[in-house]
Structure 1
Amino acid sequence: MTIFERANSYYKDSAPELKEERATLLEDWLNMETNFGNLGNVSVVQSKLPKKLKKRKPITREDSSTEYVLLAWY
């Protein structure tokens, strides 16, 4: 568990542009904790998982109509 905490703090503090890699690390950590059954502590990892948000961005076309593009945020 300590190695996951160190890797998570590295991605969070030293390499904030690597958001997808950090999310992958946390998902793998959650899978490992889940596989340990009673010994695993899933709640610790779940609180660190990024929240997935979906936003729509309006784009105005040449004919003045509006189109929406879906953006995903982590």
Structure 2
Amino acid sequence: MGYRPSSRNSHIAVVKFTETVMGEDYSICMDRMRRKRHRAVYDRTGFISKSEAHNVVTKASILIQKVKNRINP
């Protein structure tokens, strides 16, 4: 679709774009994981459980497939 996030706040730009294109269900999950990632990387206080990691990988796989289907219908 030609969109590209700027180098500043790029993760939140991707979340907002995902909400616009894919719907709120995906953006809520992605935003939650974005916040946890931020805490884990920058604050070193975040913790992501094994089940959360599994769930987000599953959702990401579904999202990737939906994006592929939009690109190559």
Give the TM-score of the pair, scaled to structure 2: 0.34
More strand by share: 1
Higher relative contact order (CA 8 A, sep 6+): 1
Give the TM-score of the pair, scaled to structure 1: 0.34
Larger Rg belongs to: 1
